[in-house]
Amino acid sequence: MRKPSAPKKITWIIGIIAGALGIIGHFARIDILSEYSYALLLIGFIVLAVGTTFKGV
C-alpha cells in the first residue's frame, strides 16, 4: 500500500473550493450550485483523494 503524501497546493485549493461550493449549494438556494451540489462535493473529495494517493499530483 502506498504511503500518503501531501497534495500540491493547487490540487488542495481545487478540492477545497469544489467541496465548499457543493456544501454551499446544498444549504443555500443558488440555481447552478444547488443543481450540481452532490457532483461538486464528490469532485472535491476525489481530487483530494487522488492528490494524497499519488505523489506529485
Domain membership of residue 31 (yes or no) is yes
Which pTM was predicted? Answer: 0.85
pLDDT of residue 35: 94
The most distant pair of C-alpha atoms in the chain lies apart, rounded to whole Å, by 42
pLDDT one-digit tens code per residue, 2-54: 788 888 999 999 999 999 999 999 999 999 899 999 999 999 999 999 999 98
Domain membership of residue 20 (yes or no) is yes
pLDDT of residue 4: 85
Describe the crossing of helices 9-27 and 37-53 by its angle, rounded to 10 degrees: 160
Domain membership of residue 1 (yes or no) is no
Domain membership of residue 25 (yes or no) is yes
DSSP of the chain: -PPP-PPPHHHHHHHHHHHHHHHHHHHS--HHHHHTHHHHHHHHHHHHHHHHHSTT-
* Structural domain that includes position 40: 9-51
Domain membership of residue 29 (yes or no) is yes
Domain membership of residue 27 (yes or no) is yes
Total number of domains constituting the chain:
1
Domain membership of residue 4 (yes or no) is no
Domain membership of residue 33 (yes or no) is yes
